[in-house]
Structure 1
Amino acid sequence: VKNGSQIGQDPPKKGMILCWWLLLASHGCNGRIRGSQPNEETMYRARDFQCRDGTRSIPGARVNDDFCDCPDGSDEPGTSACSISRFLIQPGEEEITGKHGSMAKFYCVNEGYTPRHIDLSMVDDGYCDCC
């Protein structure tokens, strides 16, 4: 055994592991884009993602990468990376009102139950809020 692999085999590539981690982080267990509503799937699956406020376009691989690329935070529906104050409801969308006023929320699928929205601050906090 050499470097954690058997002789004649290459050790796993760090870049490959990072790619898999990013893919899993952006997609939920059921293959959906984590935190997005079903009617938004097409928008989030595009090769290039257009920020909802129209200010810029980013590579689709940067959606849910835990870094805020869009000024409106729309590229992070499944993380708490962007400030909650940046998630403003767009015209024509259903308003979700919380203690901080109108804002977008994380969409929980809740298989077998009614889907619901939770505060972005509750995402990845160690508690299963979507169970």
Structure 2
Amino acid sequence: MHSSVVELLVQRDDSREVLRLKGREAWTLASLIEVGEGGLTPLERPAPRWSAYVHTLRKRGLAIDTVEEHHAGPYPGAHGRYVLRAPLTVLKVVTAEDKRRSGRADAVRSARRNDHSAGYAPDSVS
């Protein structure tokens, strides 16, 4: 899956419920699906507010574990690794590029529609 996912449509395999996600929630879930059983940490895929996005996905009913991992170094401590446990089927993925292409096409259609509705008609060739 591409890292610029902006919309995601998935179906839960356990309940057959369809979830439509947008923005960072879509990106977060796409990231978790992409990495699979190994999960990931915000250090591996930086983004602001990872915990908030995971919290939102959990509120939508998705099982996501936080596995505590300890690390050494000059600032020893622990961090969380998020692992998606919910079985899902991806139905549709929309990337930022898809949106840009769609937006350009919509703008062209809109401009043509506005030109015709304003009484504009291309000059006829005699």
State which structure, 1 or 2, has the greater radius of gyration over its C-alpha atoms: 2
TM over 0.5: no
For CA contacts below 8 A with separation 6 or more, give which structure has more relative contact order.
Answer: 2
Query: When you count helix as a share of all residues, which structure comes out higher?
Result: 2
Query: When you count strand as a share of all residues, which structure comes out higher?
Result: 2
Report the TM-score, using the length of structure 1 for normalisation: 0.21
